């Protein structure tokens, strides 16, 4: 079982000016945080793509490339690349480059995008939301398997005997995960293709996702794939501190970001009651002390049989000092406890 950290590069806002803090400072902090995650022995680090004023990262691959040069063992992945509004040739080339810099530690997680800002930004029509992902995933997988690509779709010009370089270290192939938010059609696609699945569980009760994950397992086997190679992960909002006052006060940061996102989606204001419910054993928030978060990850392992857990740690832009401490506790206390309980070994 792999353990890691994910981030979007959240930016907090100055209440006096209404402006987000400097992206430059946040990006430097993220690199320090990735370096620490590697040093404390975590297995994977993921970075997501957004095109909004409250996030500092629009190009995860650029930040991951920088991280590749200052880390030694940790896997570096997107969480996620919005493939529907991206160019698959460039996606492969960028991550193959990270892979070469990092000596084979790059991965890609692709999704359709729960935020839609990238579609008008890059000139795509939202009416093609589903078709774009389907076609571009097909092309990306073709590129991943073939140095010389021949491909034809409906929404992009065909490729005829085109060579895609550079090639990744593992015979040109990068690990590619499909990231989903709970749509059965997306889960079915991943299962039939035999692709690793990562599920974003950020609200409600994780137990509600059990039928979806069982559906993936059943369809994966029906498609004839080797179940011994099946990989399932979850990606959930997390924050760790052995100081109860820190996790209690984190509500302020967390609620501020949830309300910023919710304002554009018609959500009601986020309450302390929701926060506390999410932190319970049955809730979707992995926020608490080392023992609480360890127990909850083990519960997810029991519930789903996951092979990867990514704790999404920077919601609401907590301070750099508290982020560094949270990562340290996750790597030095939670990871060893989870590995011991599951019989897993640290990936090196």
CATH label of the domain that carries residue 181: 3.20.20.30
237 lies in some domain:
yes
337 lies in some domain:
yes
208 lies in some domain:
yes
Count CB-CB contacts under 10 A for residue 18.
Answer: 7
Residue 142: Cβ-neighbour burial (10 angstroms; 0-12, 13-18, 19+): middle
| Interior/surface letters 102-128, b for 16+ CB within 10 angstroms, e for the rest | beebbbbbbbbbebbbbbeeeebeeee
67 lies in some domain:
yes
**Of residues 230, 265, 19, 90, the one with CA closest to residue 78:** 90
Judge whether 4 and 42 are in contact, CB under 8 Å.
yes
pLDDT at 264: 82
What residues contact residue 324 under an 8 Å CB cut-off, 6+ apart? Answer: 32, 33, 36
pLDDT at 257: 95
348 lies in some domain:
no
- DSSP letter, residue 175: -
pLDDT at 132: 97
**Of residues 43, 293, 310, 67, the one with CA closest to residue 200:** 310
- DSSP letter, residue 13: B
347 lies in some domain:
no
- Whole-structure pTM value: 0.97
Through-space distance between the first and last CA atoms of the chain, rounded to whole angstroms: 13
The rounded distance, in Å, linking the Cα atoms of 114 and 291 is 32
The rounded distance, in Å, linking the Cα atoms of 165 and 146 is 10
pLDDT at 347: 61
What residues contact residue 36 under an 8 Å CB cut-off, 6+ apart? Answer: 324, 327, 328, 331
| Bridge partners of residue 78, in order along the sequence | 47
3-state DSSP assignment of residue 174: coil
**Of residues 45, 80, 83, 50, the one with CA closest to residue 64:** 45
Residue 324: φ, ψ to 5°: -60, -40
pLDDT at 135: 98
The rounded distance, in Å, linking the Cα atoms of 245 and 325 is 14
pLDDT > 90: percent of the chain: 95
Q: How many domains, in total, are found in the chain?
A: 1
Query: Tens digits of per-residue pLDDT, 250-308?
Result: 999 999 999 999 988 889 999 999 999 999 999 999 999 999 999 999 999 999 999 99
Find the domain containing 244 and state its range.
2-342
pLDDT at 242: 98
- DSSP letter, residue 254: H
pLDDT at 348: 58
pLDDT at 243: 98
Residue ranges, the chain, pLDDT below 70: 346-348
265 lies in some domain:
yes
167 lies in some domain:
yes
């Amino acid at each position: 079982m792999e353990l890691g950290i994910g981030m979007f590069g959240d930016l907090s806002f100055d209440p006096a000016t209404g402006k987000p803090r400097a992206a430059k400072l946040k990006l430097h902090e993220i690199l320090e945080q990735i370096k620490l995650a590697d040093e404390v022995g975590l297995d994977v680090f993921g970075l997501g793509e957004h095109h909004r004023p409250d996030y500092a990262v629009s190009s995860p691959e650029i930040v991951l490339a920088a991280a590749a040069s200052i880390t030694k063992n940790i896997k570096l992945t997107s969480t996620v690349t919005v493939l529907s509004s991206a160019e698959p040739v460039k996606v492969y080339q960028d991550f193959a480059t990270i892979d070469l810099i990092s000596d084979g530690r790059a991965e890609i997680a692709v999704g359709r995008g729960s935020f839609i800002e990238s579609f008008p930004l890059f000139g795509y029509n939202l009416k093609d939301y589903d078709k774009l992902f389907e076609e571009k995933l097909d092309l990306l997988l073709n590129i991943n398997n073939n140095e010389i690509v021949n491909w034809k779709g409906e929404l992009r010009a065909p490729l005829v005997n085109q060579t895609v370089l550079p090639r990744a270290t593992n015979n040109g192939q990068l690990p590619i995960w499909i990231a989903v938010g709970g749509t059965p059609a997306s889960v079915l696609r991943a299962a039939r293709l035999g692709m690793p699945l990562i599920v974003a569980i950020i609200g409600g009760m994780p137990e509600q996702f059990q039928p979806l994950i069982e559906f993936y397992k059943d369809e994966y086997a029906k498609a004839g794939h080797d179940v011994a190679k099946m990989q399932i992960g979850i990606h959930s909002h997390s924050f760790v501190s052995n100081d109860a006052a820190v996790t209690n006060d984190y509500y302020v940061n967390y609620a501020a970001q949830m309300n910023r996102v919710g304002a554009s989606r018609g959500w009601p204001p986020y309450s302390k009651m929701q926060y506390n419910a999410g932190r319970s054993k049955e809730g979707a928030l992995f926020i608490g002390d080392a023992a609480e978060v360890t127990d909850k990850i083990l519960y997810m392992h029991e519930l789903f049989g996951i092979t990867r857990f990514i704790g999404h740690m920077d919601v609401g832009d907590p301070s750099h000092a508290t982020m560094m401490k949270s990562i340290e506790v996750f790597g030095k206390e939670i990871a060893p406890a989870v590995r011991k309980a599951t019989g897993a070994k640290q990936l090196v």
